[in-house]
Amino acid sequence: MKVLMFGWEFPPHITGGLGTASYGLTKGLLKHDVEMIFVVPKAYGDEDQRAVRIVDASDIPVNYKQKNIQEFWNKLTYLEIGSNIRPYIDPEDFAQIHEDVKHSIKEKEHLILGEKYSFSGKYGNNLMEEVARYAMVGASIASQYDFDIIHAHDWLTYMAGIAAKEVSGKPLVVHMHATEYDRAGEDNINTEVFGIEQKGMKEADRVITVSNLTRDIVIKYYDIPAEKVQTVHNAIEPANKTNFEVQRSVKEKVVTFLGRLTFQKGPEYFVEAAKLILDKDENVRFVMAGNGDMFESLIKRVAELKIASKFHFTGFLKGDDVDKMFLLSDVFVMPSVSEPFGLVPLEAMRSNVPVVISKQSGVAEVLKNAIKIDFWDVEGMADAIYGLLHYESLAKMFIKNGVEEVDNLKWEHAALQVKEVYQRVLALKEK
């Protein structure tokens, strides 16, 4: 079986969980004899290609005179090229967003339909333009490569998946890693992104969601038939055996938040819980590792609560810096308001760190050895953190059982479920 897979990022060049999950899934699929052609907007040459063949969309010319590609372009006009949207992840681009800047399709059409296009592979102001061009590349690739099924990861690649399906006639599976409801909240939905998400799922032959929480959102808000949507929970890569030398320069216990500083992740609740804990015990330090549109307001709130001397903002961390941060941590907290899955708690548990997670997260569906609280229950969160910091036997129990639990959450198990989805879709196609 050969899969044409569209993603927006691939390790080591990632800005969040999407690239990490895509990488883990491809490695798992390889163990089940699935070949993959993985297309990214921009490849850097240092991607791990042991499991997949990486195709750089920037290297693919689009034959815009080809009839089926022209036909697809004519159907793409509802995309407003250059419009400003809330980026999916990359926090470094938040400050670059300008309000009410719109460009017409005609003004950008020559850029989209040119022979080649240099993708940034980022999440900035030209994101919609890149999504549209990526769709045209999808159509071009589908006419050149041999494959059995198409798999598109998240809304950024759904139009490419649809284009590939129209050109090739091959079935399409779309993977929903996070919905616009998760990212923006019900009152701040970006209608363009919502429209692409809905169209991608309606055009797909099957939809994979990363949790039952996400599945319910897809069925309820996007009007996707329940029988078309299947949950396949994410997994985690085996522990990295690299031995880091980390010098701990503080005597206090360390509690860590690691994620985007946005509405979805609930960082403000972490700050309020920190205040409650410090009122009882001053020998604790809190680390907020991440960046995003709430960065300044969180700094201001920490100052108002007079806990700045015990609170540290590190900015965005990735790679080895994340692993080093876990080695310095005594407790990890993920208080997400709406989390489709949440890979970071698994990474923390793998690193011998006990975790506190919100019940409003997909990962709560699979984890037994984590303390679960409602994101809004600041007192409950503070009590859970305090207990793990002050009752050594409790922390040791969660650490021991947690490591054993995440060791069994393997990508090869998730990949087998995905392969079974492929097989069912292909079987239906043959009837």
- Rounded CA-CA distance 162/169 in Å is 10
Closest listed residue to residue 330, CA positions, set 404, 397, 388: 388
List the structure tokens of 194: 């919502």
Q: Which helix (H) or strand (E) covers residue 408, if one does? A: none
Q: What class is the 253-407 domain? A: alpha beta
Q: What is the pLDDT of residue 9?
A: 84
Q: What is the pLDDT of residue 75?
A: 56
Contact of 176 with 214, CB cutoff 8 Å: yes
CATH code that applies to domain 2-235+411-430? 3.40.50.2000
List the structure tokens of 166: 């129209």
Domains 2-235+411-430 and 253-407 share a fold: yes
> Domain spans of the chain?
2-235+411-430, 253-407
Question: Taking the mean position of all CA atoms in its chain, how far away is CA 328?
Answer: 25
Q: What is the pLDDT of residue 189?
A: 87
Q: What is the pLDDT of residue 64?
A: 58
Closest listed residue to residue 299, CA positions, set 286, 312, 282: 312
Q: What is the DSSP string of 155-180?
A: GGGHHHHHHHHHHH---EEEEES--H
Residues whose CB falls within 8 Å of the CB of residue 154, separated by 6 or more in sequence, listed in order: 8, 18, 88, 175, 176, 177, 178
Q: What is the pLDDT of residue 74?
A: 59
Q: Which helix (H) or strand (E) covers residue 371, if one does? A: strand 371-373
- Rounded CA-CA distance 153/7 in Å is 5
Q: Cα dihedral sign for 392, 398, 400, 406?
A: negative
Closest listed residue to residue 334, CA positions, set 386, 284, 270: 270
Q: What is the pLDDT along the chain (431 residues), one digit of tens a residue?
A: 999 999 988 877 777 678 888 889 999 999 999 999 999 888 877 777 887 888 888 887 776 556 666 666 555 543 433 333 333 434 444 344 333 333 433 444 444 455 566 777 677 667 887 888 888 888 888 988 899 999 999 999 999 999 999 999 999 999 999 999 888 877 788 888 999 999 999 999 999 999 999 999 999 999 999 999 999 999 998 776 556 677 777 889 999 999 999 998 999 999 999 999 999 999 999 999 999 999 999 999 999 999 999 999 999 888 889 989 999 999 999 999 999 999 999 999 999 999 999 999 999 999 999 999 999 999 999 999 999 999 999 999 999 999 999 999 999 999 999 999 999 999 988 77
- Rounded CA-CA distance 112/103 in Å is 13
